[in-house]
Structure 1
């Protein structure tokens, strides 16, 4: 398997260009991030060129975080702001040659939220398609994001089918899915035609993958057996330094 370092959590104490270089030095095959917008995209592109790494994905802005926002795309009263965030993310992705944008739904519920999310995703897919950019949606668990609109894989699949765009895919985060509904191997296999990216972290504490209740050696081997070759996203939290958490990666590199 190949692995991508999610720089929203790994080397988060460094600037994004320095974090990209650290991921390369550690042996990651790619990188991804959350919200890179405070960093010049030209600086990111330079670091990617220097290291030879690809940036696999980035997120749309969450909105006013101080007011409790965690995404905008399912909020009926924030359509203009949601589409501005989509436009910004696609524009940034184009400069750094990033091929995926995760459109964040936000805290909402009900039919209006569903219809707004579908409409905004339809817009996002139409704007992204000419640039060969995939739009991703990700279910978040109710422990970390109570009230988040997209809260299970069944709803995500229904939304994908409602939008019916070839460049709309599921971001399958093993950590979130295990907490929401479990049964990871069957869900990965059944949803594989719709999956655009896979992420992982230990359960229940969202730490490195060699801890917790999920046997990631089994999960990684299962994913590989399905023929999936895109780097898997290491999106986990840690105490101390990122380097102290990389035994799982070093073992794979030396074993």
Structure 2
């Protein structure tokens, strides 16, 4: 059965963030995800989840200066201490929110640093985070992100994420498979998902081009949803798209799943 969760960072942007939990419930969602919780008191967020009976499906580890253009720090050799501190902060929030999986954003590969050093830094940080999260009963996810939207992003294909998982030696690391990013970088969506299903713990969606809701672009979402049910994917799918107009006006595609 297809389980959709609302990405509160992307959806319901017309209302204050703390009011988006109610909007998600009113739209029929039973779970939510968002980029970062750290600007809010964790108890404040936990109260919203409890009040509306929502599952906190996912959020990211701290990712540096997002407003300043950083898109993760896990591959940056000079930020390892900051990354490790962020893991502790993320676990603290995840426990308060009942969140069972956290995503690590690799970040943009720094100029002037050997590719091997960047890779080794990311693998080491993933290993550290996976071990810390395992002790808290939380899974670590790696998300490949397309290099059209974020030029230079260190992990941009499914195979790269799987190679990092293997190199980490940890059984507590999985792929966050974003259909939109995967379509832009590699295509072969159905075959790739089926081949690597045991290592895919979470999925996200948006159509292409435009990163709007399903039905606005080239991706055959009715086929993909039927395929996911056929192969037995039982995780959540995060609706991480930019509504073409308003969220409510564009939710017709999701009625049968909500």
**TM-score > 0.5, shorter chain as reference:** yes
Partner of 2:190: 185
Aligned partners of 2:25 and 2:180: how far apart in 1? 24
Partner of 2:222: 217
Aligned partners of 2:66 and 2:49: how far apart in 1? 29
- The 8 Å contact of residues 4 and 257 in structure 2, kept in 1 or not, is answered as no
Deviation at 1:252, TM superposition (A): 4.2
Deviation at 1:44, TM superposition (A): 1.2
TM alignment of 1:116-131, pairs within 5 A: 116-131=121-136
Tell me the secondary structure at the aligned position of residue 191 of structure 2.
helix
Aligned partners of 2:218 and 2:24: how far apart in 1? 26
- The 8 Å contact of residues 55 and 96 in structure 1, kept in 2 or not, is answered as yes
Tell me the secondary structure at the aligned position of residue 148 of structure 2.
coil
Partner of 1:199: 204
- The 8 Å contact of residues 16 and 39 in structure 1, kept in 2 or not, is answered as no
Partner of 1:79: 80
Deviation at 1:147, TM superposition (A): 0.2
1:191-213 deviation line (CA, Å, top 9, x unaligned): 11111101110012100012100
Tell me the secondary structure at the aligned position of residue 4 of structure 1.
strand
Partner of 1:14: 15
Aligned partners of 1:101 and 1:61: how far apart in 2? 10
**TM-score, length-normalised on structure 1?**
0.95
1:86-124 deviation line (CA, Å, top 9, x unaligned): 221121111111111111111116111111011111110
TM alignment of 1:29-108, pairs within 5 A: 29-108=30-109
- The 8 Å contact of residues 3 and 257 in structure 2, kept in 1 or not, is answered as no
Aligned partners of 1:172 and 1:148: how far apart in 2? 15
Deviation at 1:55, TM superposition (A): 0.6
Deviation at 1:62, TM superposition (A): 2.3
- The 8 Å contact of residues 137 and 171 in structure 1, kept in 2 or not, is answered as yes
Q: How many residues end up aligned between the 2 structures? A: 253
Structure 1 residue runs of 5 or longer lacking an equivalent are none
Structure 2 residue runs of 5 or longer lacking an equivalent are none
Tell me the secondary structure at the aligned position of residue 57 of structure 1.
strand
Deviation at 1:239, TM superposition (A): 4.1
RMSD of Structure 2 on Structure 1 (CA): 1.4
